[in-house]
């Protein structure tokens, strides 16, 4: 014999869980990335203390993201553990802008706008391969 009240409580709980899962994942194409760099300024350096986490959020190799920032800002630096130390000054706005450019150029599919992509190498060419729409777009090598 099934205990109705328990079964109802179970179904209600299941419904709640399903609703929560739905709001968290949404449709893969609509997934929005929130990049929140934590930035520390010293006299000679700019340090992004959660750099590796940012790269993970973008699903990219931290070395690739670091090379991009060095190249775009014209500054040198070093990736150590979680943090990226940049020689010289970069304002919070400049860092946010660089992350936006990286997201647009190396993460977001230009065809469908999805962010479930990966970088593929073919000889000396680099491509952005989209897992959602299957588009393959050429990108520059960093
Ligand atoms: Zn796509």
- Both 47 and 103 in one domain: the answer is yes
Question: For residue 99, how far is its CA from the centre of ligand 1 (angstroms)?
Answer: 20
Per DSSP, helices labelled H in 62-106 are: 62-73, 92-106
The distance of Cα 52 from the centroid of its chain, to the nearest Å, equals 10
What is the pLDDT at residue 28? Answer: 46
**Structure-token match 């994942």, residue found:** 25
Task: Kindly state whether residues 102 and 82 are assigned to the same domain.
Answer: yes
* High-pLDDT (> 70) share of the chain, %: 81
H helices present in 81-132, as ranges: 92-106
Residue 85 sits in a domain whose CATH number is 3.30.70.3150
- The pLDDT of 75-91, averaged and rounded, is 97
Please state at what angle helix 62-73 crosses helix 51-58, rounded to 10 degrees.
Answer: 110
All residues with CB under 5 Å from ion ligand 1: 109, 111-112, 114, 130, 132-133, 135
The pLDDT score that the predictor gives to residue 56 is 95
pLDDT greater than 70 at residue 113: yes
Q: What is the pTM of this model?
A: 0.77
Within 13 Å, how many C-alpha atoms sit on residue 110's CB side? 10
Ligand 1 centroid from CA 129, angstroms: 8
Domain that holds residue 81: 39-107
- If one compares 78 and 4, the residue with the highest pLDDT of the two is 78
Distance, CA 106 to ligand 1 centroid (Å)?
A: 12
């Amino acid at each position: 014999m099934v205990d109705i009240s328990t079964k109802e409580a179970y179904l209600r709980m299941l419904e709640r869980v399903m609703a929560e899962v739905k709001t968290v994942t949404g449709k893969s194409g609509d997934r929005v990335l929130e990049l929140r760099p934590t930035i520390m300024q010293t006299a000679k350096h700019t340090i992004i203390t959660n750099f590796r986490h940012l790269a993970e959020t973008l699903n990219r190799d931290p070395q690739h993201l670091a090379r991009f920032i060095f190249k775009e800002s014209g500054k040198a630096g070093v990736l150590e553990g979680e943090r990226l130390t940049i020689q010289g000054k970069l304002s919070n706005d400049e860092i946010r802008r660089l992350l936006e450019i990286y997201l647009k150029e190396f993460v977001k599919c230009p065809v469908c706008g999805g962010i479930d992509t990966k970088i593929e190498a073919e000889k000396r060419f680099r491509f952005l391969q989209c897992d959602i729409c299957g588009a393959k777009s050429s990108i520059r090598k960093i």
